[in-house]
Amino acid sequence: MSTPNRVVKPKTPARVIVGAVLIALFVGAFIVIAIWQTGIGITDARMRGTVVSKEFQPLAQPEREITLNRSGSVSARTSDGEYIISVEVEQKDGTKKTFTVWLNDKQRYDAVKVGDEFDVGPYLVPST
């Protein structure tokens, strides 16, 4: 006599299925809220204001600056001094806050005029 092949079908309890679905919903909601909260900081960081002053602080003698880029390439340039602008940004509560922005090059410094709009954006360095 031969025994017939049996097929065993395991039954998953409803409690396990409901638990798995609830965990998946919780994790999904957590990811959505985390992404939403991350975007709020970026939106608040994007501030635009008016240039209220420009200042050039010359060095005693020009300096040679060497920069290593993310890709690994090296570049060098000569710096005559610091190019600084002050930008007045209106805050949410209506007050105005002045930010000091150091620019890297003379061309960008010359392109900006007092009274122009300027995106403070990633700099966010309050002046003292």
Q: Are residues 76 and 31 in the same domain?
A: no
What CA–CA distance (Å, rounded) separates 37 from 107? 37
Q: Are residues 24 and 76 in the same domain?
A: no
Q: Are residues 56 and 74 in the same domain?
A: yes
Residue 42 has what pLDDT?
65
CA 70: distance to chain centroid? 17
Residue 9 has what pLDDT?
77
Residue 44 has what pLDDT?
62
Considering the domain boundaries, does residue 52 fall inside one?
yes
Residue 41 has what pLDDT?
65
Q: Are residues 69 and 86 in the same domain?
A: yes
Rounded average pLDDT per 10-residue block, the chain, 128 residues: 74 90 97 84 74 90 84 85 90 88 86 90 51
Considering the domain boundaries, does residue 3 fall inside one?
no
> Per-residue DSSP letters for 14-75?
HHHHHHHHHHHHHHHHHHHHHHHHHHHHHHHH--EEEEEEEEEEEEEEEEEEEEE-TTS-EE
